[in-house]
Chain A
Amino acid sequence: MKNVVEVKKLTKEYKELKAVNDLSFEVKEGEILGLLGPNGSGKSTTINCILSLLNFSEGSIKIFGQEMEPDAYKLKEKIGVVFQDVAVFEELTVIENIDYFCGLYIQDKGLRKRYVEDAIQLVGLEEFKKFYPKQLSGGLLRRLNIACGVAHKPKLIILDEPTVAVDPQSRNNILDGIKTLRDQGTTIIYTTHYMEEVEILCDRVIILDRGQIIASGTIDELKKLAKLEEKVTVEVMELDSKYIKEIGEFKNVEDVTYHEGILLITYKKGKNNLVELMDYLKNAKIQYNKIFSERPTLNDVFLELTGKELRD
Chain B
Amino acid sequence: MTVFKTFLKVLKSCKGTIILYSAILIFFAVFNTTSGDNTTNFVAEKPDVFIINQGEREGITKNLIQYFEENANIIDIKNEENAIRDALFYRDINYIIYIPENFREDFLDHKNPTIEVKSTGDYMASLADMMLERYLKLANIYHETFASEEEIIENLNKTLSEKLEVEVTSKLDTDHLTQIANYYNFANYSLLAGCVFVICMVLFSFGRDVVRKRTIISSMNYKKYNRKLLLSNGLFAVSLWAFYVLVSFFLFGSSLFTIHTIFYLINSLIFTFCALSIAFLIGNLVHNREAINGIVNVVALGSSFLCGAFVPTEYLPDFVLKIAHVLPSYWYINTNERLKTMEVFNFENLKPIFLNMGVVILFILLFVVMMNFISGKMRKTNS
Contact = CB atoms under 8 A, between A and B. Distances in A.
A91 B205 contact: yes
Interface residues of A, number: 30
Interface residues of B, number: 24
B127 to A, nearest CB: 53
A89 B213 contact: no
A91 B218 contact: no
Contacts of A101: 214, 218
Contacts, number: 72
B159 interface: no
Contact of A89 (B2, B205, B218, B221): B205
A29 interface: no
Given A70-B222, A86-B210, A89-B205, A79 B217 contact: yes
Contacts of A104: 214-215, 218-220, 225
A128 interface: no
Interface string B172-214: 0000000000000000000000000000000001001111011
A91 B217 contact: no
A76 B210 contact: no
A92 B6 contact: yes
A253 interface: no
Interface in A87-106: 87-92, 96, 99-101, 103-105
A91 B219 contact: no
A77 B218 CA distance: 7
Given A86-B210, A90-B205, A103-B1, A51 B217 contact: yes
Contact of A73 (B209, B214, B219, B383): B219
A103 B2 CA distance: 7
Contacts of A54: 383
Given A79-B217, A87-B208, A89-B6, 14 more contacts: A76-B217, A76-B218, A76-B219, A81-B213, A86-B210, A87-B213, A87-B214, A88-B211, A89-B9, A96-B9, A100-B1, A101-B214, A104-B225, A105-B218
Interface of A: 51, 53-55, 70-71, 73-74, 76-77, 79, 81, 83, 85-92, 96, 99-101, 103-105, 148-149
14 contacts: A53-B217, A70-B222, A76-B219, A79-B217, A81-B214, A81-B217, A85-B209, A85-B210, A88-B211, A89-B6, A91-B9, A99-B1, A104-B220, A105-B219
Interface of B: 1-2, 6, 9-10, 12-13, 205, 208-211, 213-222, 225, 383
